[in-house]
Amino acid sequence: MAEVLVVTSGKGGVGKTTSTAALGAALAQTGQSVVVIDFDVGLRNLDLVMGAERRVVYDLINVVQGDANLNQALIKDKRVDSLSLLPASQTRDKDALTAEGVERVINELKGRFDWIICDSPAGIERGAYFAMRHADLAVIVTNPEVSSVRDSDRIIGLLDSKTEKAERGETIEKLLLLTRYDPVRAERGDMLKVDDVLEILSIPLLGIIPESPEVLKASNLGSPVTLANPVSAPSRAYLDAARRLRGETIEMTVPSEKKRLFGSLFGRRAA
């Protein structure tokens, strides 16, 4: 049975697209078949982070409007066989999405994949609404910072009222993914601590992704961080989160990079 997962946050720039790519790749690395869908029509990014920007011919809007079929639009990842991308259109806007079209696409994908991961655009408008509409499960990406936490809270309220599942009277499962976390700064009081965020949002924790230059490096290489450098701290955190999504119980830790003497002595030279 396919699981439809939405990665959402309300606020922009907190790491939705990065997390979609990393979790999608991590699930695919465990042998699951995964499709990641970019719902940010007009401002697409997921193709870049996945390193597929030069392979886009047809996109989500073409399929939604019936101008292309899924086989034409799906882009298979070159590194992991079981990972596919359904890109957004860059030339259209969110008005091109239709309720019937999106529903048809999701239903068709359910027959082909184990995981359908919808990368939501920021905001609470049309694009975000369609991204969450058919979800069974939501991953709320939040930075340890007050505006991000409040926007996440707003999105949780919408997930509980606007999704298909909520309208049927069921509850949609919501999991918190805390990104860009820096334990040292949290301890100093420069950012919110894990417990502060959990107390405000009161949803279960899926994972804590430490702040790391590896994330930006991977994005610029056009690779999900879990594929670019699987042993880096953020990758280990994402791989753990993916295993938790599959139902495994794994102790919650904040992975950190190993400090090397030479790294700290010569690490800055190239900068």
Partner 1 sequence: MPPAAALQIVPNTPEPEGKRRQVRFRGRSFMALVLTPEPPTDDWLAELDALAARSPGFFGDRPVVLDVSAIKASPRTLAALLGQLESRGVRLIGVEGCDPKFLDGPNARLAMPVGGRAAGELSAPEPGSVATGSLVVEQPVRSGQTISFNGDVTICGSVASGAEVIASGSIHVYGALRGRAIAGSAGNSKARIFCRKLDAELLAIDGVYMTTERLDAKLKGKAVKAWLDGENLRVDALD
Chain residues binding partner 1 by CB under 8 A are 124, 146, 150-151, 153-154, 156-158, 160, 199-200, 202
Closer residue to partner 1 in complex, CB, 150/217: 150
Bridge-based pairing of strands 83-86 and 75-76 is antiparallel
| Degrees to nearest 5, angle at CA 43 with 101 and 233 | 105
Q: Which residues fall within 8 angstroms of residue 87, CB to CB, at 6 or more apart? A: 38, 44, 46, 47, 52, 56, 59, 60, 73, 75
Instruction: Give min distance, CB of 150 to partner 1, in A.
Output: 5
Instruction: Give min distance, CB of 166 to partner 1, in A.
Output: 12
Instruction: Give min distance, CB of 250 to partner 1, in A.
Output: 27
Are 180 and 11 in contact, with CB atoms under 8 Å apart? no
Instruction: Give min distance, CB of 197 to partner 1, in A.
Output: 12
Closer residue to partner 1 in complex, CB, 67/199: 199
Closer residue to partner 1 in complex, CB, 161/264: 161
Residue 142 CB neighbour total at 10 angstroms: 29
Provide the residue type at 20 as one letter. T
Round to whole Å and give the CA distance between 64 and 67: 8
Are 209 and 238 in contact, with CB atoms under 8 Å apart? yes
Closer residue to partner 1 in complex, CB, 64/191: 191
Closer residue to partner 1 in complex, CB, 79/162: 162
Instruction: Give min distance, CB of 153 to partner 1, in A.
Output: 4
